[in-house]
Structure 1
Amino acid sequence: MKKACFSVLALIVSTLAWAQEEATKTVDVNINTKSESAWYTSPVVWVIGAAVFILLLVALTRGRRA
């Protein structure tokens, strides 16, 4: 009985996986060639912001221990 249930389940899963295949595959790539970008898209800004946040968090939690 277990083999029959497993076989039916495997058939259903493989059918669902096969149904996900698309006959025609299209790739649409849009490259933004502008040199200007927003300030918040720079990884350096995020690293500096995270460092400031961590330093603030440490400074605030150390002040309460005394």
Structure 2
Amino acid sequence: MNTTLLSRKIESFGILLLTFFFSALAFAQEKTAPAVNVTTTSTKTTTTEEWYTNPIYWVIGALLLIIIIAVVARGNGKRD
């Protein structure tokens, strides 16, 4: 029973040491950002929106497709 208690304590201490080591390693990776002077020039380009990128057309198209499927599935209404 003493060996299991001792092994649990050693395991807990090992986990504590690993946690400390990895946290120290993570903090060691951080460094302050160097001061960088960057000048950029940007040009604005205008693009036209295509009709198929507008979601309204997709919704209208889906509704029309559902209506067409419903009409075709209903048939002509006459049963023999």
Given the two structures, how large is their TM-score scaled by the length of structure 1?
0.46
Which protein has greater RCO, CA pairs closer than 8 Å, 6+ apart? 1
